[in-house]
Structure 1
Amino acid sequence: MPAYAAKPVGSGEGASTEQSAGSDKSGIYAAARIQYSGAVAPGGGTGNVTSSDVNWTPPPCWYAPYLGAKDFKKKMSKEFEKARNTPGMGGTAGAAIGETERHYEDEYGWTGTPGYKDYNVEKDGEGMFWAGVENPDEPDLLKRSSCTDLPFWVDNGEAPPPQYEEAITPEILAALAYQHMQLPDTEVSLAPEQTTKVNLPTWAWLDKAVFNEVQATAAINVPGFALQATTTAKPVSLKLEPGTPDAETYPTSGECTINADGSIGEPYAKGKADQTPPCGIKYLRSSGDGTYDLQATITWDIAWTGTGGTGGDLPDGTFGTTQAVTVQEIQAINR
């Protein structure tokens, strides 16, 4: 089968507001772009959520609607002309280019891959050619460029042929929304705040008001084809790591689970000096002239819903912040 290195046609570009796929007045549609909305990482880069499953990664590439028939013919004709006029483009490479041109012009095909008559222009508006899309956030170039099948035609309202396992689905969109999700950079409330004392329990908590669920949506919407998926992250626990082995955590595991009202931990209040905090730390040694880096990592339960009643779970996500804590030595403590 001839190979065609399709130029990436989708986009990993994120945005905090929804973007529209392009089209023109003649009904010739530009390359479908994934539209991101909701809590999306600024600039479209990978978000600050990390999967708790080290084996899970978003898709490196996928197939998605590309161009209408007339626009595809216009583009490919230019590409073939350019290739024929490229010095040294003869022999096997030249033959492959000729076969690919015949595939779209003269119905030249092979097993399981029928050709097209005049780029399917008689069906313009009734479907689109689909092509490979590279995930720009995939660091492995070989994986990213692995969707190399020739662009193929899909009628409006029809599913892509089953051999294209990487064809865009709501679940792929959900994974991309996950990848671009921006979680809040929430600072844990502490008492005492910033500066504490050796052997003094430090209370830690997160209020529900700053600890709500987060949603990000990824969608494709072009004439004859529409898919979307919304990924939702719900906070479930907070893990405290004191930044030194000379400390104890409450509870011992350092995992503070979410309360019934959506908060985590409990704010310190007057009269609780002799109580053990449900979520907190006790430092056993002074930080001297420096500070300890308290790492507070929130675990988020990730689920998604999509077009056609689809949905399911994705691996939990984590996001950590670091706070500098000064620990002073003191002989007697009065509060």
Structure 2
Amino acid sequence: MHAVTSRAKWLLVSGTATTLALLPGTAFADRHHGGSSQGNYHSSGKQAGGSIESRITFSGSTRGGSGSSSQAVTPVGDWTPPACWYEPISARDFAKRTEASYDEVVNNPAQPDYAKAATGQFRDIYKDGKYKNYNLDKKDEGNWWVAVQDDNRLDEPGAWDCSELPFWVENGDTPKVKNAVTPQVLAELAYNRIQLPTTEVTLAPANTTKVNLPTWAWLDKAKFKDVSVTASLNVAGLNIQATTTAMPVSLKLEPGTSDAQTYPASGECAINADGSIGEPYAKGKADQTPPCGIKYLRSSGDGTYKLKATVTWQISWTGSGGAGGDLPDGTFGATQDVTVQEVQAVNR
């Protein structure tokens, strides 16, 4: 089991005509996205003084288990896990971080005037403007909720969907914004961090086969089992978690050429009752049809065919308070080289 902190940062967004997204730090760069002419700014590096790292932690199969390589689950369809979300921060921490960011920016000669002005405008809203002194006198009655972006997904349009300024939420109230952290949102974030160990399908004959000879394919249950990631958030009086579990349900074989026949004909090999897929080849089965496999009808010549094996995973989650449900299925695919040779005939 591995525990990791989310690679995500606090995102401050102003509501002025010129939208400014500010990640407190030492350097600002002009960014454009979605075809908009609005300028967006975020820091180019992590700074402990002003930057607030997400408090969400992840544990479980976040590194592909013990394998040397791994791959994330790819959702089926057009659904994607959130690339930004809202999470709470105490009034005391919000005040401390905002003041640190303000001092860091305005006292740095290298910062441009627009960055200093924007930082000052943001501070004024919460210190002496719409709110007074960061609501510190109400610190036991609620928390600030701030937008957070996933550092690994800043180039995705969804990373900019959380455009609300930090807002105050009384204890017991539900934030009225999309992607405010709940057990389900945590489950969706955990989905994006599931890492599966790279697994090659076992073939018989292995790697090199003959034209018109059925090639058996299988995945052993010991290497092909459920994996899960747990996301937890314990901050500002909010203590919730969710565990997202991926369960393998089928294997699809794509031979890498149209000159091939799959078993079954659909190329979809279902999971067996014991958790394996397919059936290992054994001596004496040469004339049998494999429950999962391929028959190549043409030689690969001097090259190889790229056999693609894609596993479909059924994704479910459970969370705090007995919550739970299903998330879109995911897939995980890998390719391997297969050499197909002609059967040599002997002329007498």
TM-score range, shorter chain: 0.7 to 0.9
Checking the alignment, whether the CA contact within 8 Å between 1:32 and 1:65 is kept in structure 2 is: no
Q: Is the 8 Å Cα contact of residues 136 and 144 (structure 1) preserved in structure 2?
A: no
Change (3 A) 1:135 1:292: same
Q: Which string of whole-angstrom CA distances, capped at 9 and with x for unpartnered residues, describes residues 205-250 of structure 1?
A: 1111111111111111125111211111111111111111111111
| Conservation of the 8 A alpha-carbon contact between 2:218 and 2:277 | yes
C-alpha deviation, 1:191, in angstroms = 0.9
Secondary structure of the equivalent of 1:137? Answer: helix
SS of 2:314's equivalent in the other structure is strand
One-letter amino acid matched to 1:39: S
Partner of 2:250: 237
Bigger strand fraction: 2
Q: Quick one: distance in 2 between partners of 1:266 and 1:88?
A: 68
For 1:221 and 1:250, locate their aligned partners in 2 and report how far apart those are by CA, in whole Å.
Answer: 49
**Are positions 1:201 and 2:217 aligned together?**
no
Matched, 1:61 2:84: yes
Give the corresponding residue for 1:77. 99
Change (3 A) 1:274 1:150: same
**Match of 1:219, SS?**
strand
Distance in 2 between residues matched to 1:47 and 1:315, nearest whole Å = 17
SS of the residue corresponding to residue 290 of structure 1 reads coil
Give the match for residue 305 of structure 1. Answer: 318
Change (3 A) 1:303 1:324: same
Q: How far apart are the structure 2 equivalents of 1:206 and 1:141?
A: 34
User: Which residue in the other structure is 1:5 paired with?
Assistant: 21
SS in 2 for 1:262: coil
1:211 matched residue in structure 2: 224
SS in 2 for 1:270: coil
Aligned to 1:49: 73
Matching of residue 315 in structure 1 with residue 331 in structure 2 = no
Q: Which residue in 1 is equivalent to 2:173?
A: 159
Distance 1:99 1:194 in 2: 64
Deviation at residue 125 of structure 1 after TM alignment = 5.3
8 A Cα contact 1:170 1:306, kept in partner: yes
Determine the C-alpha separation between the residues in 2 that align with 1:170 and 1:277.
43
Structure 2 residue 276 is the aligned partner of structure 1 residue 263: yes
* Equivalent position amino acid for 1:49 in 2: V
Specify whether residues 136 and 87 from structure 1 end up closer, same or farther in structure 2 by C-alpha distance, changes over 3 A only. Answer: closer
Q: 1:149 aligns with which of 145, 160, 164?
A: 164
Q: Who is 1:137 aligned against?
A: 152
Report the alpha carbon displacement of residue 187 of structure 1 after superposing the two structures with TM. 1.2
Kindly tell me: are residues 8 and 242 of structure 1, through their superposed partners in 2, closer, same or farther at Cα, counting changes over 3 Å?
A: farther
Root-mean-square deviation (CA), in Å?
A: 2.9
Residue 273 (structure 1) aligned to one of 252, 271, 286:
286
Q: Does the 8 Å CA contact 1:214/1:234 hold for their aligned counterparts?
A: yes
Give the CA deviation at 1:331: 4.1
Distance 1:88 1:293, change over 3 A: closer
CA drift at 1:105: 3.5
Residue 69 of structure 1, CA deviation = 2.3
Q: Residues 226-278 of structure 1, C-alpha deviation per residue, up to 9 Å, x if partnerless? A: 12111111111111111111111111111111111111111111111111111
TM-score by length of 1: 0.78
Which consecutive residues of structure 1, in runs of 5 or more, have no partner in the other structure? 10-29, 110-114
Residues 325 and 32 (structure 1 numbering): CA distance in 2 closer, same or farther, change over 3 Å? closer
Provide the C-alpha distance between the structure 1 equivalents of 2:286 and 2:223, rounded to a whole number of angstroms. 26
Structure-1 separation of matches of 2:256 and 2:335:
9
State the Cα distance separating 1:332 from its structure 2 match. 5.5
Where 1:161 maps in the other structure, the secondary structure is coil
User: Aligned match of 1:121 in 136, 139, 142?
Assistant: 136
Post-superposition Cα deviations, 1:95-153, rounded to whole Å, max 9, x if no partner, equal x87775554345x54xxxxx3x3222233355432211012233546532332322223
Does the residue aligned with 2:152 lie in a helix, a strand or coil?
coil
Residues of 2 paired with 1:140 and 1:233: CA distance?
Answer: 26
Given that 1:236 and 1:300 are in contact with CA atoms closer than 8 Å, whether structure 2 keeps it comes out as yes
Is the Cα–Cα contact under 8 Å of residues 52 and 316 in structure 1 kept in the other structure?
Answer: yes
